[in-house]
Amino acid sequence: MTTDLGPLARELSLPYYDAALPAHDRFHARRVRDVALRLADESDHEIDRDVLAAAAWLHDIGRPLERTGDIDDHDAWGATEAVDLLASEGVPTATVDAVEHCIRAHSIRASSPEPATDEAKLLFDADKLDAAGARGIVRLACIVGERSGRNGEPHAVIDDASGSETASADSPDISLLRHWTRERLDALYTDPGRRLGAERWGFVQEFFERFEREAGVDGTR
């Protein structure tokens, strides 16, 4: 059964992403799957690629409901939903439990458990890496658009409201994006993740340096 677990999880996950906005849609899930498996190829540890692929497809199935306020925590809800989905397909309990842990531990929020398995650490890193590099910048811009004005805030507050304290009066969204990216890259668990993160951070730095030049920002004033 587990040799087909990745494609099965993809099939089970897709209906949940129908109502998703671009930053957390099926294409995000696919990118996380692809990067997670790339990191697994570079890992010195033996990785259950089936568990990793399945968890990647299913990790954000609760995002649309969290966005609309129907649930409070997409990690916990998605993990429970994934257990029910996979168990109903006859997936072995140990495999279901491994996927469940990956999903519960994939978020950077303080309430999430620490990843305790190699698969969970790789999923965490792959998810955070989708907020860096060229694709990451586009994705962050989508998140700013989704969350601007939420809870009365004039600008986007991304997950942790304290992030808005890094924003200047002149360019609040841009300061926040750079902070949000750096915060996630600093949290990476694996050596392959950190190597890819360093490469993507270099591009992010170049992008924002050009952004400021084009905007005519004088950093000395």
Indicate the pTM of the whole model. 0.86
Residues 58 and 99: their CA atoms lie apart, in Å, by 9
> Per-residue pLDDT tens for 103-123?
999 999 888 999 999 999 999
Q: pLDDT per residue over 31-61, tens digit each?
A: 999 999 999 999 999 999 999 999 999 999 9
Q: Closest Cα partner for 192 from 101, 102, 124?
A: 124
Of 175, 181, 209, 173, whose CA–CA distance to 197 is shortest? 181
Asked whether residue 215 carries a pLDDT value surpassing 70, the answer given is no
Give how far the C-alpha of residue 57 lies from the chain's centroid of Cα atoms, to the nearest Å: 11
The answer to whether the beta carbons of residues 54 and 48 sit under 8 Å apart is no
Structure tokens at 174: 């841009």
Contact 133, 204 (CB under 8 A): yes
Q: What is the maximal distance between C-alpha atoms in the chain?
A: 63
Contact assessment for residue 141 and residue 39, using Cβ atoms and an 8 Å cutoff: no
Question: In sequence order, what are the residues at sequence separation of 6 or more whose Cβ sits closer than 8 angstroms to the Cβ of residue 75?
Answer: 62, 103, 104, 105, 106, 107, 109, 112
Least confident of 27-36, 140-149, 199-208: 140-149
Position 16 pLDDT exceeds 70 = yes
Question: Would you place residue 3 in the very low, low, confident or very high pLDDT band (cuts 50, 70, 90)?
Answer: low
CA distance 138 to 141: 5
Residue 54 vs residues 27, 36, 194: alpha-carbon distances, Å: 14, 11, 23
Task: Residue count of the chain, please give it.
Answer: 221
DSSP 71-140: -S-HHHHHHHHHHHHHHHTT--HHHHHHHHHHHHT---STTSPPP-SHHHHHHHHHHHHTTSHHHHHHHH
pLDDT at 161 over 50: no
Structural domains in the chain plus CATH codes: 1-111 (1.10.3210.10), 131-221 (no CATH)
DSSP letter, residue 21: -
Whether 54 and 99 have beta carbons less than 8 Å apart is answered as: yes
Q: Nearest Cα to 43, choosing from 126, 142, 167?
A: 126
